[in-house]
Amino acid sequence: MSNPHDTVFDSLQPHAERLRQLPIARLIADDAARPKDFALRVGPLYASFARQHYDRPTLDALFEIAEAADLMQAVRRLFDGHLVNVTEGRAALHTALRSDLSDIDHVRDASAQARAARARMATMVEELLASGVTDVVSVGIGGSDLGPRLVADALADAVGGPRVRVHFVSNVDGNAVRRTLARLDPANTAAILISKTFGTQETLLNGTVVRDWLQNDSRVYAVSANVQRAADFGIDEHRILPMWDWVGGRYSLWSAVGFPIALAIGMEGFERLLSGAADMDAHVLATPLRDNVAVWHALTAIWNRNAMHAASQAVLPYDERLRLLPNYLQQLVMESLGKSARLDGAVLAGHTVPVWWGGAGTDTQHSFFQALHQGTQIVPADFIGVIRADHAHDSNHAALLANLLAQTEAFANGQASDDPHRAYAGNRPSTLLLLDVLTPESLGALIALYEHSVYLQSVLWGINAFDQFGVELGKQVANKLLPALQGDIDADDPVTRALLSEIRRRS
Ligand code: F6P
């Protein structure tokens, strides 16, 4: 018997067929109200879907799918702390870290715990700032690194310059920690070890190097859901901030995992980030499907993947300060949605997440945009721009925005030529997300939009957005191979054996 989730997108196929004859430029030319009707404003964020390759009848079909999947109810379940992470029997309450939108007791309790942790964090931020520390090394990886790294980098100037300089060390490659420490003086440096599990190899190894280099345990802090392990590592419990199993690592920058953010932009800036995300939460929870920006974004993703068969998705921030957004989104989106089993364990027949990748414009125009304009694969793109600059270089900013608008236009419209080498087929779909200005609030809203879109995509695909069993196998094999790298034991796998012997010969 066929599975409802395998056939749920069948209604889209006739639209995909029909639109093959109707390029994006034609859809725009034939529907004067499209630029306005295919766009939404939510606080500081304007989202235009007018250059996606769908039309009104297609949107009707997409919203019917959203209706049938009861997306609004799914959002309610998330906010109300249902066990949406079914494979691990957990809630995913990142919204409780920043919003107060549920009456359910255990969610209110979660919010209260988050507030208490923030109060402790505020005290630690003050202490550290008053202590004369000028630099902080934040050690963590994945969700314990990418969010704080993105936000601290993006907002350091927007809120009046760094309070302390924050440096991030994630990679187990010793060059990462060596390079970072080489620039610092242990006399005015502190360290934060961030790990939900406090069992992550990279963080424990780098954390040990940094702790030994500091030679001052009173300046080592931790953030973890496993306080005992952090204490066993030698960190004083007074300097350990909690997190909880009801927050997924890649959704955790709003918790004490954001400690480095608060150090870089101040506690007030951190609270403003949370309030921007809370505004997006309120919008997503309360706004009907047709006016809900996260629903539009998620349906667009499903359309491009399951009806138009796009195998990859680009994310192209036109703002140097958002250059780390693609890295951050790679984990958020691909670790959440890179699944091939449904919630009930059945294997999915269709495709889930495409490959997400990207980089900041305009640099990327001079690297991979050639392939986006004329390559044989169509890559849908999210362009992100900021309307008002925070610098005095007006001509640069005008050029930046001109390039941003030009690219979205050129992708959609293309340009005919008798010379195939000089022809642009166009018909490349894109979404444009415009922030009024880059503030903690607008960045909080943007990130929260992506979080909600990811969750909604998972509901539409019938998969769990909150586990990540796919990353475990590699860790297990690496643990098994570590003794072989450090001694003479051999590996079971013949190819690994040959590689080990080559490594030993050349070491
Ligand atoms: O890469 C797998 C993963 O478990 C991520 O989901 C997580 O964000 C990262 O490792 C770091 O984990 P931890 O915070 O427990 O050190």
17 catalytic residue (yes or no): no
Q: Does 475 qualify as catalytic in the annotation? A: yes
Whose CA is closest to 239, among 136, 153, 388, 93?
A: 136
Confidence check: pLDDT of 1 > 50: no
Q: Read off the pLDDT of each residue in 47-71 and give the average, rounded to a whole number.
A: 98
Could you tell me the pLDDT band of residue 200, with boundaries at 50, 70 and 90? very high
Q: What is the DSSP-derived secondary structure letter of residue 85?
A: B
Percentage with pLDDT > 90 across the chain: 95
Q: 10 Å Cβ neighbour count for 111?
A: 19
pLDDT average, residue stretch 362-384: 98
CB of 250 sitting under 6 A from ligand 1 = yes
Distance between CA atoms of residues 432 and 84, nearest Å? 30
Query: Is the confidence at residue 2, as pLDDT, over 50?
Result: no
Q: DSSP state, 381?
A: E
**Which of the four pLDDT bands, split at 50, 70 and 90, describes residue 338?**
very high
Cβ 142 under 6 angstroms from ligand 1? yes
Rounded distance from Cα 233 to ligand 1 centre (Å): 18
pLDDT tens sequence across 106-134: 999 999 999 999 999 999 999 999 999 99
List helix spans (H) across 287-393: 293-302, 325-329, 336-337, 369-374
pLDDT in tens, 408-417: 999 999 999 9
pLDDT of residue 162: 59
- Cβ–ligand 1 distance for 141 under 6 Å, the answer yes
Distance, CA 343 to ligand 1 centroid (Å)? 21
- Does the pLDDT at position 209 exceed 60? yes
If you measure from the C-alpha of residue 468 to the centroid of ligand 1, how many angstroms do you get, rounded to a whole number? 9
Q: What residue spans of 31-70 are helical by DSSP H?
A: 34-37, 56-68
> In degrees rounded to 5, what are phi and psi of residue 214?
-65, -40
pLDDT above 60 (res 4): no
202 is catalytic: no
Name the β-bridge partners of 386.
435
Q: What is the pLDDT of residues 7-54, one digit of tens each?
A: 678 999 999 999 999 999 999 999 999 999 999 999 999 999 999 999
- Claim: this prediction has a pTM higher than 0.95: yes
Please indicate whether residue 249, judged by its CB atom, sits closer than 6 Å to ligand 1: yes
Cβ of residue 203 lying under 6 Å from some atom of ligand 1: yes
Compute, in angstroms, the gap from residue 466 CA to the centroid of ligand 1: 12
Token digits of residue 59: 């949107």
Residue 6: the pLDDT is 55
User: What pLDDT is stored for residue 489 in this prediction?
Assistant: 87
Examine the pLDDT at 448 and tell me if it is beyond 60. Answer: yes
Question: 144 CB under 6 A from ligand 1?
Answer: yes
Among 471, 472, 473, 475, the mutation site with the greatest number of ligand 1 atoms within 8 A of its Cβ is 471
Distance from Cα 191 to the centre of ligand 1, integer Å: 19
Other beta carbons within 10 Å of 123: 11
Q: Which atom of ligand 1 is nearest to the CA of 146?
A: 8
- Nearest 5°: CA angle at 75, between 459 and 275? 130
- Beta-strand ranges (E) seen in 83-202 are 135-139, 165-169, 189-194
Residue 160 confidence (pLDDT) above 80: no
Residue ranges of domains in the chain, CATH in brackets? 4-68+287-465 (3.40.50.10490), 94-269 (3.40.50.10490), 472-506 (1.10.1390)
CB 379 within 8 A of CB 310: yes
Is residue 202 within 6 Å of ligand 1 at its C-beta? no
User: In the prediction, which pLDDT does 487 show?
Assistant: 84
DSSP class of residue 461 equals: H
Check whether 188 has a pLDDT greater than 60.
yes
Question: Percentage of the chain with pLDDT > 70?
Answer: 98
Task: Report, as an integer, the average pLDDT of 347-365.
Answer: 96
Q: How much is the pLDDT for 361?
A: 97
Using DSSP bridges, classify how beta strands 189-194 and 165-169 pair: parallel, antiparallel or unpaired: unpaired
Tens digits of residue pLDDT in 449-473: 999 999 999 999 999 999 999 999 9
DSSP letter assigned to residue 412: H
Catalytic residue among 202, 335, 441, 451: 335
Q: How far is the CA of 141 from the centre of ligand 1 (A)?
A: 6
Substitution candidate for ligand 1 out of 87, 138, 141, 227 with most atoms within 8 A of CB: 141
- The lowest-confidence range among 108-122, 147-161, 302-316 is 147-161
Is there an atom of ligand 1 within 6 Å of 364 CB? no
Out of 36, 238, 366, 421, which one is annotated catalytic? Answer: 366
3-state helix, strand, coil in the chain (%, to 5): 55, 10, 30
Tell me the average pLDDT of the chain: 96
Q: Separation of 214 CA from ligand 1 center, angstroms? A: 25
- Is 222 a pocket residue for ligand 1 (Cβ < 6 Å)? no
For residue 158, what pLDDT is reported? 76
Q: Do the beta carbons of residue 297 and residue 431 sit within 8 Å?
A: yes
pLDDT tier at 396, thresholds 50, 70, 90: very high
Ligand 1 pocket: which of 171, 194, 200, 223 to mutate (most atoms <8 Å of CB)?
Answer: 200
C-alpha angle 29-34-39 in degrees, rounded to nearest 5: 140
Which residues touch 83 (CB under 8 Å, ≥6 apart)? 89, 90, 91
Q: Band of the pLDDT at 173, cuts 50, 70, 90?
A: very high
Q: How confident is the model at residue 261 (pLDDT cuts 50, 70, 90)?
A: very high
